Amino acid sequence: MQRSVVLNIVGLTGRHIGENTPNIAAYMAAKPQIVIKPAFPALTCPVQATYLTGKSISEHGIVANGWYSRDLAEHQFWKQSNHLVNGPKLWDVLKESDPNFTCAKIFWWYNMYSSVDFSVTPRPIYPSDGRKVFDVHTNPMNMREEIKEDLGPFPFPAFWGPNSGIESTQWIAESAKWIELKNSPSLSLVYLPHLDYCLQKFGPNSPESAKELMAIDDLFKDLLDFYESRDVKIVVLSEYGITSVNNPVHLNRIFRDKGWISIKDELGKEMIDLGGSKAFAIADHQVAHIYINDLSVYDDVLSTVRSTRGVGHVISDSELDQLKLRHERGGDFIAVSDESSWFTYYFWEDDRLAPDYARCVDIHRKPGYDPVELFFDPEIRFKYLKIPMKMIRKKLGFRYLMDLIPLNAEMIRGSHGRIPESKEDWPILIGDFPENLSEDDFIEANDVFQLLVEHCQVNGSSDALRG
């Protein structure tokens, strides 16, 4: 079996490969490049589940990055147990063909309690005093302290939030090298998220994006040299492309105006009561799952969503089955934004009554994805004094509220989730793969699974894809 590493450079597309990415461009020139029709929805968790199982959403069950649990009457966002993903995984199939096969899974999602041999994933600790202590979870568990001792603590603030930057992706890259040096796994799956966040924040065509592309290109060169020196075959993979947006759509505010949203007061702030609402949206970038608790309003909700400015398409009824999107975790129907729009989770009408988590980096409590967490609130006075004081309180173990996030969705410049109009914005696969796999010059996202299996097995064929 050929030892391989998959570098998942999130957000990388053919459009970005050029003068700002000379090292990736050179690698692409020497290897076949395959365009991938994005999995739908083009979101981290569904895409990764599709790549690693070869199954559709209706089979593997990952409908989005988050969903509404009808049994619990609660939303579930950014869960980490691999047991949520149904079906045999890539490493399971490879282990069947070679009992000596080992796999490292580094920062890919649903990384906890999987059957891989080595894993590292972000996992804060939440003591009972209300603090949030940044940390990672590893398998084997004793690797956690060893890797932190050698590499230092994972720079969590640089991973997500207003301070996100290349430092966290560099730490992930170093952890992959650390595992390779100590364990030499047969396959390493390495998640490199840097572009994902900066392209959402600044937009894919911004001047800032050029600098960030150079940063990920430099990191790629370092990994390329490292793995080639150890005779490990490199595969470059991406999950989706990020396109320009300028129109946030607030579905839950529209639903509230219609009387379908239940709002409760909690210490003077408004909270959405999902279980008590007739209908609501779980927003996730350019996709929103619409859940209906009171079927008497189904037709009105469907009509309202279809007529909302910024909604490009609604997937309902038989189309859910045709596209293999129907699953018990999913909404009763799915709203897809138009090209320049995306969906917020916002449900309040007065910012003074917004829940306390709205102004914080709080990815689990918010009933939807919030890219505005990438910004510091520009209205904060004495920001450079206030932020350090909060960090000091955190380090000293005091209670604190990191209420630094704005409530202005207009700031977001890039998003993903829908299938982009141009193939230049589709994800790519670069490596030692057969050329001309499809007459349409692209493959389906489901096909990535088999190609990776064959890449590791060396002697596989791609006749099924050609046919």
Q: Write out pLDDT tens, residues 27-85.
A: 999 998 899 999 999 999 999 999 999 999 999 999 999 999 999 999 999 999 999 99
In the predicted structure, residue 335 carries a pLDDT above the cut 90: yes
**Residue 126 binned pLDDT confidence (cut-offs 50, 70, 90):** confident
Which residues belong to CATH 3.30.1360.110 in the chain?
Answer: 247-412
Pick 291 or 131 by higher pLDDT: 291
Q: Dihedral sign, CA of 121, 426, 23, 185?
A: positive
**What does the H/E/C string look like for 401-427?**
CCCCCCCCHHHCCEECCCCCCCHHHCC
What is the Cα–Cα distance from 174 to 155, expressed in whole angstroms? 12
In the predicted structure, residue 461 carries a pLDDT above the cut 60: no
- The residue written with tokens 């996730």 in the block is 284
CATH 3.30.1360.110 fits 247-412, yes or no: yes
**Residue 392 binned pLDDT confidence (cut-offs 50, 70, 90):** low
In the predicted structure, residue 160 carries a pLDDT above the cut 90: yes
Which residues belong to CATH 3.40.720.10 in the chain?
Answer: 4-244+417-466
Torsion of CA 413, 416, 419, 424, to 10 degrees: 60
Q: For 70-81, give the DSSP string.
A: TTTTEEEES--B
pLDDT at 325: 98
The answer to whether the pTM exceeds 0.85 is yes
How wide is the angle at C-alpha 286 spanned by C-alphas 39 and 199, nearest 5°?
A: 90
Ranges of beta strands (E only) in 25-163 are 33-37, 66-69, 74-77, 103-106, 118-122, 136-139
The CATH architecture one would assign to domain 4-244+417-466 is 3-Layer(aba) Sandwich (3.40)
pLDDT at 393: 61
**Residue 403 binned pLDDT confidence (cut-offs 50, 70, 90):** confident
Q: What is the pLDDT of residues 179-220, one digit of tens each?
A: 999 999 999 999 999 999 999 999 999 999 999 999 999 999
**Residue 464 binned pLDDT confidence (cut-offs 50, 70, 90):** very low
pLDDT at 391: 60
Q: What is the pLDDT of residues 346-391, one digit of tens each?
A: 999 999 999 999 999 999 999 999 999 999 999 886 566 566 665 6
If one counts every other C-beta atom within 10 angstroms of the C-beta of residue 46, the result is 29
Q: What is the pLDDT of residues 86-109, one digit of tens each?
A: 999 999 999 999 999 999 999 999
Q: How many residues does the chain have?
A: 467
3 state SS of 84: helix
What is the Cα–Cα distance from 45 to 231, expressed in whole angstroms? 30
Tell me, what amino acid is at 395? K
